Amino acid sequence: MQNNCAPAAERKKLGFLDRNLTLWIFLAMALGIGLGTLVPGMSNSIESFSSGSTNWLLALGLILMMYPPFTKVKYETLGKVFQNTKALKASLFLNWVVGPVFMFFLAVLFLPDLPHYRTGLILMGLARCIAMVMVWNELANGSREYAAGLVALNSVFQVLAFSLYAYLFLSVLPPLLGMPGISIDISIRELATTVGIYLGIPFALGFLTRKILLPLKGQDWYTQTFLPAVSPITLVALLFTILIMFGLKGDKVLQLPLDVLRIALPLVIYFAGMFLVSFWVGKKMGADYATNTAIAFTAAGNNFELAIAVSIGVFGLHSGEAFAGVVGPLIEVPALILLVNLAYKLRDKFYLPQTLNKP
């Protein structure tokens, strides 16, 4: 997918759909809410495609959405990502220490009287981004290789550490602040299944596509013919995924507007805060724009699929925890789109002058 957030001179080269991506996203959100509210049984129809904690319509949209970015990753250069140990350690610290702690205190601060929503928000902070970060990073022209490497690490950490983190942040820390603790029982197998569906499938498809087609058809055909042909799939699948998510809970969004606003406020602060802090840290370490963008979006995003799956599996489909989980991506999508535009403004301010001043 081409970049709709590029500078004005570059946007003229883009097609009509790409230039107006932000508009299409907001229209898809509005259409989803409208259908979920006005069409009887819309939510039940979407839920009928669920098996356990996985909704296969949502899974299909996410898999198709992430497939094109994974076909563009130069897997042969992924090893270089792990050679920059300083940036790697900073990214892991931002993802697995700063992010969960920041979300925990925002949830406690803004939702002290709403324990169900507070728990849902905390689960969002524990579920580190392994999926849509590839799309936001792509839109902001970040490093695909670095993003893929960080996503891979987050996936491994998620499978190994999520249960422990859930116990720490929901059972141990709340009683220390005078709030009741909650016990979360989710197995490594369930986590591995979720990660495998939402990340493993598109990753494997992208890897195999590149592995098979590059030697078969050549570099020129692959980059000039194949990639432009599959890139629009990301846009279509993104809009489809947003439509499904908003259609699933559109009626609830309209029925509980104040609740949505109370959940939304700490989320907005979280997304903006994590992005800006991460970008500042990357800049201080001397990371180039592409690498810094991958670090910032990986730290700012969340794996809402996992958070929703855990909330539904543990507390039930119609629980307050599940509702908070669904509100998460409703806020994350427009917030991250705005951050994509902010990334370009930061690039113009902090990186382009350095490039232009080079001899």
Q: pLDDT 10s per residue in the chain (359 long)? A: 444 444 433 433 445 555 566 677 778 878 888 887 787 777 777 777 777 656 778 778 878 877 887 787 777 766 766 777 788 888 889 999 999 999 999 999 999 889 999 999 999 998 887 667 877 888 898 988 888 888 877 777 777 777 788 888 988 888 888 887 777 666 666 666 766 776 678 888 988 999 999 999 998 999 889 988 988 887 788 788 778 877 776 666 667 778 889 999 999 999 999 999 999 999 999 889 999 999 999 999 887 767 776 776 677 666 788 788 778 877 887 888 889 999 999 999 888 765 544 44
Report CA 243 to chain centroid distance, whole Å: 16
Q: How far is CA 195 from CA 191, 266, 308, 350, in A?
A: 6, 26, 13, 35
CB neighbours of residue 45 within 10 Å: 14
pTM here is 0.73
Question: Six-digit token pair at 181?
Answer: 């603790």
Phi first, then psi: give them for residue 137, nearest 5 degrees.
-60, -40
Rounded alpha-carbon distances, angstroms, from residue 18 to 227, 246, 336: 15, 22, 16
According to the model, what pLDDT value does residue 241 have?
Answer: 76
Both tokens assigned to 237: 């699948």
What pLDDT does 28 receive?
83
Residue 226 has a pLDDT of: 93
Q: Which fold has domain 8-41+54-348?
A: Na+/H+ antiporter like fold (1.20.1530)
Query: Using an 8 Å Cβ cutoff, are 320 and 122 in contact?
Result: no
Taking Cα atoms as reference points, which of 204, 248, 198 lies closest to residue 49? 248
Give the model's pLDDT for residue 163: 78
pLDDT at res. 127: 85
In this prediction, residue 3 carries a pLDDT of 43
Contact call for residues 132 and 306 (beta carbons, < 8 A): no
d(CA 51, CA 44): 13
Contact partners, residue 30, CB within 8 Å, separation at least 6: none
Q: Would you state the pLDDT for residue 357? A: 45
Query: Which amino acid, residue 130?
Result: I
Distance CA 106, CA 199 (A): 28
Contacts for 285 with CB less than 8 Å, ≥ 6 apart = 86, 87, 90
Q: Tell which residue, 69, 74, 25, 26, has the closest CA to residue 232.
A: 69
